[in-house]
Amino acid sequence: MKKIVVWIAIVSMLLGLTACGQQATQSAYPGTMTELVEGIYRNCTQQPEFALGDPTPIDTSDAFALQSYLGLTDASLVQEAVFSEPMINAQAYSLCALRVAEGKNPKDVAQSVLDGVDPRKWICVEADQVRVGVWGDTVVLAMVSSDLAPNLADDLMTAYSKTVGGDLEVILKK
C-alpha cells in the first residue's frame, strides 16, 4: 500500500513540474521579420492595389527612422525591424514588423508603438485604421487609410495570426 501511495505522489509531482514548465515558455517566431511580412501578405484576403516595395530593414540606430516607422524612441526595445510601404508615397499605408529585444515585454513595446506612431506622417494623407498586434516576441503595426481598402488593417492582423499559427495575444487600436 505504501508503494502505491509513493508512486502516486511521484507521478503527481512530475505532472505538476511538467505543467509549470510548459506555462513558462514564450512563443518565438522562427523566421525573420521580412519572412513574417511576406507571410502576412500571402495570408491577407485583401491585397493593396498599389505597388509595394520589398520589406525593408529599419536601421534602429537611426532615431528618425525608428520614430517615423515604429513610433519608438528607445532602440534597445528592438532586435530586428522591417517596414513595407508604397513605392509612391501618396497613400497612407504602412506595415511594420519588429522582433522585441530579449528581456523586453512585447505588450509594453506594442503600447509604446501605438502611443508614439503618427498616422499623419504622410502630411497630405492620414491612416484612420491603426492596429498593433503581438504574438510571442513579435509586434506588427498596420496603418491604413480606409479610402484605400475598408478593414484592411484588421485583415492584416488576421493574416498575421494565420502566419504565426496562433491567436494574437493582443490587438491594440488607435
Instruction: Give the model confidence (pLDDT) of 6-61 as tens digits.
Output: 445 454 554 444 444 433 345 899 999 999 999 999 999 998 777 788 899 999 99
Predicted pLDDT of residue 8:
52
Whether 19 is in a domain gets the answer no
CA distances from 68 to 73, 113, 117 (A): 10, 11, 7
148 within domain boundaries = yes
Confidence of residue 139 (pLDDT cuts 50, 70, 90): very high
Q: How far is CA 102 from CA 37, 105, 141, in A?
A: 21, 9, 19
User: Is 109 contained in some domain?
Assistant: yes
Domain-located, residue 20: no
Residue 166 inside a domain? The answer is: yes
Considering the domain boundaries, does residue 14 fall inside one?
Answer: no
Average pLDDT, integer, range 102-120? 97
Residue 64 lies in a domain: yes
> Angle at the Cα of 57 (from 153 to 38), degrees rounded to 5?
50
Domain of 164, in residue numbers: 26-173
Q: Total structural domains in the chain?
A: 1
Query: What pLDDT digit, counting tens, does each position of 68-106 carry?
Result: 999 999 999 999 999 999 987 788 999 999 999 999 999
